[in-house]
A and B are shown apart, each in its own frame.
Chain A
Amino acid sequence: MAETKDSTIMILVKLTLIAAVAAAVLTATYGVTQEQLDKLAEAAGGPDKQLLKMGIVPDATKFKSAGGELCYEAYNGGDLIGYGAMTEVQGMQDMLTLAVGVDTDFVVTGVVVVSQKETPGIGDKIQKDEAFTAQFAGVGPDGLALSSDGGKIDAISGATVSSGYVTAGVVEIIGKMQEEVS
């Protein structure tokens, strides 16, 4: 402990000094990390590249913005073969990020759970269990519900609620895509 009592001016000077040093250190760190973040963002590519990489429309060779907010047109060469979108929907704990691909009749071609914050070990199976998301492929708008509700999607046992949110999210995203396209 300092024995000498500082004057108000000294206290102000010291506080300012420490704050200035802190600011300088943080500025330097920001510069370095921002560079790395830019690199990460570049590696991930824009939404069209990300959709292509996830393979939600398996035959697509290129995604192009459909002009709307979230819908992207999927092309195989020059032919329009479907649509893809990636967005946040409500999950059980927090928002889920889902990517959904459909063909031109809005039959699902692929679903990917991009990120989720569901209960570890329980709800997070929606992301880890690929057999669950694989079920969506080939299902038309009528079948998009859990099998307990008369649909074609079997919920993961022990993660029924989260499975339900994924299914509802897929329906929601397809609805938005239809709206934007038509």
Chain B
Amino acid sequence: MANKSFIGEIIRGIIKDNPVFVLVLGLCPVLAVTTSFANGFGMGLAFTFVMLGSNIMVSLLRKQIPPDVRIPIFILIICTFVTMVDMLLEAYQPDMYERLGIFVPLIVVNCIVIGRAEAYANRNPVFPSIADGIGISMGFIIALVLLGSIREFLGTGTIVFDLLGYDVGKDIIMRFPAIELVIELVIGVLSPYLPPPATVMVTAPGAFLTIAVLMLLFKIMGDRKRMKQLRKEGYEI
């Protein structure tokens, strides 16, 4: 594993080992908090902190961790980081803390984090473990943000691009007023043909529908790539 590149490991975490669409892990927070773009993004950041912290610590301690009690130690390390992020969110992002609620403490039992600790960080040096942590986290954030944006747009008809209290969408429009004009024009032309917002998308069934469609797309893309590879190797499909 030592000769794998840092970037390569990151990309593997996003595409080939995407925690949500490919490994199908950690679905509980994915389905519950992705009612909007901002919630998904906030959850993704909290997760990234824990994922990176846990991967680094487990990897650093991997020669010291007695195999018999490795799971309790993983949990202890993960718990520490989760409690930290929980306290930090409460103090510095009270709105986000309120919206994410129970799902931040629940990162403790997020199977992605403990899965990476057991399957990767415990067997690899620190550097690749960091890459793995970044890759998996980015894959997770992409999944959350995709789901959040799609559900928010289909369910409410708008998307608020808000990153931790900083409204990116508003900022872009303020700097380039022309963009708003274009968006309004496009929406104005399309609106008679668009269906009204479907409430179901921001409720639990909407989460399942969206993730099913996204997983299907991911699977199709993966299969296409594999078929191409096989054809290149001379198989006839």
- Quick check: B87 and A1 within 8 Å, CB to CB? no
Contact of A2 among B64, B76, B98 (CB under 8 A): B64
Pick the most buried of A18, A19, A34, A36: most chain B CB atoms within 10 A of its CB. Answer: A18
Query: Would you give the shortest CB distance from A162 to chain B, in whole angstroms?
Result: 12
Chain B's closest residue to A37 (CB) is B91
- Quick check: A121 and B152 within 8 Å, CB to CB? yes
Query: Would you give the shortest CB distance from B61 to chain A, in whole angstroms?
Result: 8
Query: Would you give the shortest CB distance from A128 to chain B, in whole angstroms?
Result: 11
- Which residues, 29 to 76 on B, are CB-close (under 8 Å) to A? 35-36, 39, 61-69, 72-73, 76
Q: Report the separation of the CA atoms of residues A146 and B101 in the bound assembly, to the nearest whole angstrom.
A: 31
User: Is there a chain B Cβ closer than 8 Å to A182's Cβ?
Assistant: no
Q: Report the separation of the CA atoms of residues A30 and B80 in the bound assembly, to the nearest whole angstrom.
A: 12
Q: Mark A29-42, 1 if CB is under 8 A from B, else 0.
A: 11011101100100
- Quick check: A18 and B203 within 8 Å, CB to CB? no
Consensus secondary structure, chain B interface: helix
| Chain A count of residues within 8 A CB distance of the other chain | 28
Consensus secondary structure, chain A interface: helix
Q: Report the separation of the CA atoms of residues A30 and B203 in the bound assembly, to the nearest whole angstrom.
A: 35
| Chain B count of residues within 8 A CB distance of the other chain | 37
Q: Report the separation of the CA atoms of residues A40 and B98 in the bound assembly, to the nearest whole angstrom.
A: 15
Contact of B65 among A14, A26, A29, A158 (CB under 8 A): A14
- Quick check: A33 and B62 within 8 Å, CB to CB? no
Chain A's closest residue to B79 (CB) is A22
Contacts of B101 in A (CB 8 A): 117
- Quick check: A1 and B202 within 8 Å, CB to CB? no
Contacts of B61 in A (CB 8 A): 18
Chain A's closest residue to B87 (CB) is A33
User: Is there a chain A Cβ closer than 8 Å to B179's Cβ?
Assistant: no
Query: Would you give the shortest CB distance from B32 to chain A, in whole angstroms?
Result: 12
Known: A2-B64, A121-B197. A26 touches B73 (CB 8 A): no
User: Which of A's residues lie within 8 Å of B, judged by CB?
Assistant: 1-2, 5-6, 10-11, 14-15, 18-19, 22, 25-26, 29-30, 32-34, 36-37, 40, 115, 117, 119-122, 158
